[in-house]
Chain A
């Protein structure tokens, strides 16, 4: 299990350096807050119909702040010229991918834990559905988004303008996840009676997660070539 061990080591390194500087996480959380602020201008919080767009807003926040973190995860390595070091270190490309994935995933989870209750609070949103299912949807959706996002970030990092390239690559590829999780989130939060169709959506997103995680795992070898 050297693969997992090195991956955890790399994730630990990323998270430690993040803990020291708090640069990316702070940016992501503040950005999430700003997105909520902009949405409060766009959709009147006092209006009852606004409740219908909350599931969509949650995912817009995750997408936008997720992009910020993903951009940084490989760029920071490149800025310090440590990418070459990682590549020649005695570990597989898969470990690098897995390590970066774990780091990004834990960061987006922190952002979600902070931002989503905040959103519910500010928009005075009452959850009518079930919270455990909602957490499951969030987990599966973020997993897929970050796994493919980490992969595409490593791909885009080869470009000089990777910040601009990454959203263009990521959004069309993740569209099935976004459709699925927004539908599932809506059902989980507002009408839980429709649980069966929400579970179908969860199945679709999980299938996507599995397929693309495996695909990324195989193809990362070609992306992270010296």
Chain B
């Protein structure tokens, strides 16, 4: 069954994805990522001061927030590429959307793992049903469902279409989920930035802020590198399948 599924569009695709040449971009990205992560780790442990009430445990905060931001960016990229795919119907957009969602899911998992460790020492409990935590959990479930649609059987363009639709729906849901849960539960999470009417910032030291931005940038670079590698890996997979299919057709002649 599955061997015939790829066949429908083989002739069309080979010309489309014939570009994978040795590029210097991944190497540069890898270098930048490694350097910036090392710098971030140095800043976290050597430069940033130890927080008064929470102690050294607070240092997990830098990667926690960084991962959360990166995950959100990743899901936004999925959203954008989903729309692009529905408009243009090019397989490369679908690949970008898929890989980005996968990486986003990994980062969300990181957030959900680092969060409880921090919470245990800061709030003395592993988990609180609090807006941001619950939203993150629901986000994780939504993109897990996205991956599940991916694992469906059928031709790729059907799956790509359905995934794109779900990517849009899922992303549109996130702000509403956050808003709903915010109403449902009172605030416990420290709001670090902003000092507007509702957003009373708890305040953060300049060195800490600097460190946080560096680690955030490092994780975003890591995301870019992973996205780049993931997409080329996925394209290679597609190409191998197409060659296999071509071979099979020739054998059957």
Interface residues of A (CB under 8 A from B): 148, 151, 155, 158-160, 165, 168-169, 171-173, 175-176, 179-180, 183, 200-201, 204, 207-208, 211-212, 215-216, 219, 222-223, 225
Residues in B neighbouring A171, C-beta threshold 8 A:
141
In the bound assembly, the distance between CA atoms of A225 and B162 in angstroms comes to: 10
Residues in B neighbouring A179, C-beta threshold 8 A:
180-181, 184
Label chain A's interface by main secondary structure: helix
Whether a CB of chain A sits under 8 angstroms from the CB of B51 is: no
Q: A173-B142, A201-B183 are in contact. Are A215 and B168 (CB under 8 A)?
A: yes
**Which listed residue, B158, B169, B181, touches A219 by the CB 8 Å rule?**
B169
Nearest CB of A to B177, in Å: 5
Q: Which residue of A lies closest to B176 (CB)?
A: A176
Contact status B153-A172, CB under 8 Å: no
Interface residues of B (CB under 8 A from A): 86, 138, 141-142, 144-145, 148-149, 152-154, 158, 161-162, 164-166, 168-170, 172-173, 176-177, 179-181, 183-184
Residues in A neighbouring B168, C-beta threshold 8 A:
215, 219
Q: Which residue of B lies closest to A180 (CB)?
A: B180
Q: Which residue of A lies closest to B140 (CB)?
A: A172
Contact status B142-A172, CB under 8 Å: yes
In the bound assembly, the distance between CA atoms of A201 and B176 in angstroms comes to: 12
**Which listed residue, B158, B164, B166, B176, touches A169 by the CB 8 Å rule?**
B166
Nearest CB of A to B161, in Å: 6
Residues in A neighbouring B141, C-beta threshold 8 A:
168, 171-172
Q: Which residue of B lies closest to A174 (CB)?
A: B173
In the bound assembly, the distance between CA atoms of A151 and B173 in angstroms comes to: 14
In the bound assembly, the distance between CA atoms of A165 and B168 in angstroms comes to: 18
Q: A168-B145, A173-B173, A175-B138 are in contact. Are A222 and B164 (CB under 8 A)?
A: yes
Contact status B177-A176, CB under 8 Å: yes
Q: A159-B152, A175-B138, A222-B164 are in contact. Are A204 and B177 (CB under 8 A)?
A: no
Contact status B145-A169, CB under 8 Å: yes
In the bound assembly, the distance between CA atoms of A173 and B86 in angstroms comes to: 21
Contact status A183-B169, CB under 8 Å: no
In the bound assembly, the distance between CA atoms of A204 and B162 in angstroms comes to: 27
